[in-house]
Amino acid sequence: MIEGDDFHSNKSKRLMRSGVPLTDELRAGWLESLGGELAARPGGAVVTCSALKRAYRDVLRRHAPDLRFVFLELSYEEALRRVTARGRTHLFPPSLVRSQFTTLESPVGEPDVLRVDATRPLPELVDRVASWVSREFA
């Protein structure tokens, strides 16, 4: 299990904590780091991250050609509610949720992407993803 936020640079973390959205340039090194982590685990791994654009996902795919994506789809309002509920314990403040949705290029329709309703109960999501992955690798 690889938590994508752990791989942001200190500069990017400071900017996010200050409510400044990251640019493509700031995300480039982060994506390369995540891709390197995937490549170092040829047996597979789970990465949690917001690969918001197709170009970002393509960077990760370049490092791990058999990569699959699970798109946890939810509304802006629900995302804002969840981020706000975290309080100040996370580096990502609620003020950045809008920029994430503005940047988002839905992966729906790309190969090897499973879209799931992120508002469904966690056990249901786990079962759906596990079933999809086991079919994909069977």
Per residue in 1-30, pLDDT (tens digit) is: 999 999 999 999 999 999 999 999 999 999
- pLDDT at residue 138 greater than cutoff 70: no
* CB crowding 78-98: b at 16 or more within 10 Å, else e: ebbeebeeeeeeebbbbebbe
Q: What is the pLDDT of residues 76-133, one digit of tens each?
A: 999 999 999 988 777 888 999 999 999 999 999 999 999 999 999 999 999 999 999 9
Please give the average per-residue pLDDT across 50-73, as a whole number: 96
pLDDT at residue 71, rounded to an integer: 98
How many Å apart are CA 117 and CA 71, to the nearest integer?
Answer: 8
Cβ-in-10-Å burial (0-12, 13-18, 19+) of 128 comes to middle
Please give the average per-residue pLDDT across 71-75, as a whole number: 97
Whether the predicted model's global pTM rises above the 0.75 cut: yes
pLDDT at residue 36, rounded to an integer: 96
Q: What are the phi and psi torsion angles at 20 (to 5°)?
A: -95, 120
pLDDT tier at 137 (50, 70, 90 boundaries)?
A: low
- 67 half-sphere exposure, CB direction, 13 A CA radius: 25
pLDDT at residue 15, rounded to an integer: 94
Q: Are 67 and 60 in contact (CB under 8 A)?
A: yes
Q: Which domains does the chain have, with CATH numbers?
A: 2-136 (3.40.50.300)
